[in-house]
């Protein structure tokens, strides 16, 4: 009963937060920056494995997590590719912004009583990367960062994090984080041989 009430209160809070976002037309089925909403239970053991790969909750680094999963050579090549595609400033904002997203999500999760398990899922390296790609891939084969975030910490907490990012850095910054995450994970999927994964419209 307590878990049910907590879940309902999280979704209600998330819905109210999204109504106040600039330019956001509330949709019961689609995330703010595209892709389907996932309103089920979060995959906390997988989230814990990602956090561990990134150096832990207090010192999480997206660059470190990616390097742990894919190796420095692959990550450096991807960062160089994204830099050519989007420019150095936007890539740096994506890396630091994604660090903030993870840390802020964990803060909200803790406050809401959503705790990561002490024992993360036994996922490392490419296996963890493939699991994250799968989590963010919709039924039509398109990878969406918003879907991944929903599954990582709940849709409501994802919404709360977006409110924080928008308030601190602006909506364009938030969109950039989602945009580059879409592109990066699409690239990762194809690098791992998953050529059936499609690129999101926001990229």
Instruction: In the chain, count H helices and then E strands.
Output: 9, 0
Which range has the worst mean pLDDT, 14-23, 63-72, 147-156, 161-170? 14-23
Q: What's the pTM?
A: 0.86
Q: What is the pLDDT of residues 19-31, one digit of tens each?
A: 444 444 456 789 9
pLDDT in tens, 63-83: 999 999 999 999 999 999 999
Collect all residues with Cβ–Cβ distance below 8 Å to 176 and sequence separation of at least 6: 90, 93, 94, 97
Both tokens of residue 64?
């470190």
Cα distance between the two ends of the chain = 41
Separation of alpha carbons 3 and 17, rounded Å: 21
Question: What's 197's DSSP letter?
Answer: P
C-alpha span between 146 and 159 (Å, rounded): 9
Would you state the pLDDT for residue 38? 96
């Amino acid at each position: 009963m307590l878990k049910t009430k907590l879940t309902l209160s999280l979704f209600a809070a998330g819905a109210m937060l999204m109504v106040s976002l600039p330019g956001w037309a509330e949709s019961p089925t689609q995330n703010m920056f595209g892709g389907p909403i996932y309103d089920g239970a979060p995959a906390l053991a997988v989230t814990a494995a990602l956090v561990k790969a990134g150096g832990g909750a207090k010192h999480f680094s997206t660059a470190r997590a990616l390097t742990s999963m894919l190796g420095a050579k692959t990550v450096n090549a991807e960062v160089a590719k994204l830099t050519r595609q989007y420019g150095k400033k936007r890539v740096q904002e994506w890396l630091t912004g994604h660090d903030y997203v993870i840390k802020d999500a964990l803060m909200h999760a803790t406050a809401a009583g959503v705790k990561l398990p002490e024992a993360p899922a036994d996922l490392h390296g490419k296996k963890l990367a493939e699991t994250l790609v799968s989590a963010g891939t919709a039924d039509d084969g398109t990878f969406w960062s918003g879907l991944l975030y929903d599954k990582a910490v709940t849709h409501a907490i994802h919404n709360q994090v977006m409110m924080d990012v928008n308030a601190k850095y602006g909506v364009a910054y938030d969109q950039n984080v989602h945009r580059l995450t879409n592109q990066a994970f699409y690239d990762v999927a194809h690098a791992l041989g998953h050529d059936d994964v499609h690129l999101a419209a926001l990229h």
